[in-house]
Amino acid sequence: MTSEKDKPDLYWLFSPRTIAVVGATKNISKVGGQVINNLRIGGYKGKVFPIHPKHDKIFGWTVHKSVKNVSEPLDLVVSVIPNHKTAPIVEECVEIGAKFVQIITAGFQEIASFEPEAMKYQDEITKSLKRAKGTTRIIGPNCMGITSTGSNLNAMMGFLPLAKSLDGFNISITSQSGTWTWNVVNFANSHGIGIANAISNGNELDLTFEDFIEYFGFHCERTNAIVGFLEGFRNSQKIKKIAAEISEKKPIIILKGGKTKSGARSASSHTGSIAGSYAIFKSFCKQAGIIEAEDSSDLIDLARAAKIFHPNKFPRGNRVTIFTGGGGAGVILSDILENHGLQLAKLEKETIEKLSEILPPHWPHGNPVDSVGSMEVWMQLKKIMKIISQDNNTDIIMTSIPTMGAAQDDIPEPMKKWAKRVMGIEEINRDVLVSFDRNIAKDIIRILRKTDKLLVFPTSHYNSEGHYEYEIFTKLFENGVLVVSNAVDGSRIIKKMLAYKEFLKKRRNK
């Protein structure tokens, strides 16, 4: 058996052998019912001890009246009982030496401005915590719980199935917002990102954002990238000490809330945190190699990029070749690239010559490569992509593959005729177009395997889960294509990831 001493401090929080749920119930409209039910359906690998004064059994687990009655040592106690009843439970946990108490219950410091009693409840917990002298650590209060796919642990409130982990790349999440944690777990999983751990920190009475970053960064081998929602650091000393060293091992991607006065005010009534100066935060991120996300969807995009570039498969440089179906799009994309510090690649002479054999004579003979509205280019897409992918002055290719998403139920009559004539398809219909798109995706994947170039693919159907395009985009992403909502998002992500690459280069050359 593993010796407890070999394990880092937070190991038993994310891989608990035993869990007690104080306030457990069969009633899943209540938080105590949700947590215990989530543990059950998640297939949690450890032992569960529901704590309730009246119940007998819940989902087959024997109910105890108090944590004191549990005969085994408790790694984690999850408490969901009302705010004014919480402190005595914490005291009991300290007494029996439970390793961690996660207080999901809200109604403490964060509501003290209109409910002064609430501060007292929190202060009582602090007293117990002090008596514990580190033998019992607290998460929360005012949070949503914890998830760890390594032990099938889903001790979250709400109705979220156990998060999925994926082979090869998983993120760990720490967040000062509960619902945000929930949403990001969901969003990450549905966008091809696996979860190692997720923890909602709430008011951070004891364990903080910084502690979880430290654990994920140094001690959790299942974590390939760290993702966080932060209102304000509570332990600036610690984060300053560890951030750059962790960034060197794995990317830290943070979304900061409370950047403005309004945001900071909202943060204070949310988890009672002090947002601090945004300018200082920004400059700290730069120094420490932390990648800042603009919003939740940017954050997921950055995590997707981190997955594609893992390990150390960053684009060689910032020279982008655009392939588009029209000149206007080329002009717009050129602006977007330059505004994000990227540059238009100067195509090799040979590339231009080869493209000229395929494209209409009046194509612009340069980058952006523009098919000048020709629909026959559909048929030549593979060749065009291949030629561009062999250009030595190109690091990145950006294209809205013009066929993708064209398949509709109702295909216009002239397009049917055209398909017959040009594509040689006897009867064009949705299925034919879908399989056409699928084949293009396969071709592109095959072409990309042979190059070190990054393909960026903006599509407004990025979030169309359930559609056939979504399935293709997922396949493309799994094969290293950076599928994004639009070119602005794509450019911003590349800019940030190239800055992170620079950070790594400097650190490693030290």
In terms of CB distance, is 8 or 161 closer to its own copies? 161
**Do 379 and 418 form a contact (C-beta atoms < 8 A)?**
no
CB of 313 to its own copies, least distance (A): 26
Give, as ranges, the residues between 438 and 497 that touch its own copies (CB under 8 A).
Answer: 460-461, 463-467, 485-488
Report the residue from 56, 167, 357, 413 that binds its own copies according to the rule CB under 8 A.
413
Cα separation of 219 and 211, whole Å? 11
**Do 252 and 213 form a contact (C-beta atoms < 8 A)?**
yes
Cα separation of 383 and 161, whole Å? 44
CB of 398 to its own copies, least distance (A): 13
Tell me which DSSP letter residue 5 carries: G
Which span sits near its own copies by CB under 8 A: 243-251, 322-330, 430-438, 490-498? 322-330
Query: Taking the C-alpha atoms of 493, 494, 498 and 504 in order, what is their torsion angle to the nearest 10 degrees?
Result: 50
Q: Which amino acid is at 177?
A: S
Give, as ranges, the residues between 16 and 45 that touch its own copies (CB under 8 A).
Answer: 27-29, 34, 37-38, 41
Judged by DSSP in three states, 388 sits in helix
In terms of CB distance, is 4 or 115 closer to its own copies? 115
Which span sits near its own copies by CB under 8 A: 72-80, 250-258, 309-317, 499-507? 250-258
Instruction: Please tell me the count of residues contacting its own copies according to CB under 8 A.
Output: 97
**Do 79 and 65 form a contact (C-beta atoms < 8 A)?**
no
Give, as ranges, the residues between 379 and 408 that touch its own copies (CB under 8 A).
Answer: none
| Under rule CB under 8 A, residue 158 binds its own copies | yes
| Unique residue bearing structure tokens 């929360």 | 140
Cα separation of 202 and 102, whole Å? 10
User: N- to C-terminal Cα distance for the chain?
Assistant: 40
In terms of CB distance, is 83 or 136 closer to its own copies? 83
Report the residue from 331, 432, 434, 504 that binds its own copies according to the rule CB under 8 A.
331
Report the residue from 89, 185, 329, 494 that binds its own copies according to the rule CB under 8 A.
329
Report the residue from 349, 362, 449, 508 that binds its own copies according to the rule CB under 8 A.
362
Give, as ranges, the residues between 341 and 360 that touch its own copies (CB under 8 A).
Answer: 343-344, 360
| Under rule CB under 8 A, residue 425 binds its own copies | no
CB of 120 to its own copies, least distance (A): 15
CB of 207 to its own copies, least distance (A): 18
Give, as ranges, the residues between 186 and 225 that touch its own copies (CB under 8 A).
Answer: none
CB of 309 to its own copies, least distance (A): 24
Which span sits near its own copies by CB under 8 A: 235-243, 282-290, 294-302, 387-395? 294-302
CB of 154 to its own copies, least distance (A): 11
| Under rule CB under 8 A, residue 119 binds its own copies | no
Report the residue from 50, 107, 194, 315 that binds its own copies according to the rule CB under 8 A.
107
In terms of CB distance, is 97 or 158 closer to its own copies? 158
**Do 358 and 337 form a contact (C-beta atoms < 8 A)?**
no
Judged by DSSP in three states, 369 sits in strand
Cα separation of 31 and 104, whole Å? 9
Contacts of 17 (CB under 8 A, 6+ apart): 46, 47, 75
| Under rule CB under 8 A, residue 157 binds its own copies | yes
| Under rule CB under 8 A, residue 428 binds its own copies | no
203: Cα within 13 Å, side-chain hemisphere: 26
CB of 247 to its own copies, least distance (A): 23
In terms of CB distance, is 251 or 257 closer to its own copies? 257
**Do 346 and 393 form a contact (C-beta atoms < 8 A)?**
yes
Please state, in angstroms and as integers, the Cα–Cα distance from residue 295 to each residue in 184, 336, 425, 459, following that order. Answer: 11, 19, 44, 19
DSSP state string for 80-119: -S-GGGHHHHHHHHHHHT-SEEEE----SGGGTTT-THHH
Judged by DSSP in three states, 167 sits in coil
Contacts of 24 (CB under 8 A, 6+ apart): 32, 33, 35, 36, 50, 51, 52, 55, 58, 63, 80
170: Cα within 13 Å, side-chain hemisphere: 21
| Under rule CB under 8 A, residue 134 binds its own copies | no
| Under rule CB under 8 A, residue 148 binds its own copies | no
Going residue by residue from 67 to 106, which x/- string records binding to its own copies, judged by CB under 8 A?
----------------x----------------------x
Cα separation of 13 and 380, whole Å? 55
| Under rule CB under 8 A, residue 140 binds its own copies | no
Cα separation of 44 and 39, whole Å? 6
Going residue by residue from 251 to 290, which x/- string records binding to its own copies, judged by CB under 8 A?
----x-xxxxxxx-xxx-xxx-------------------
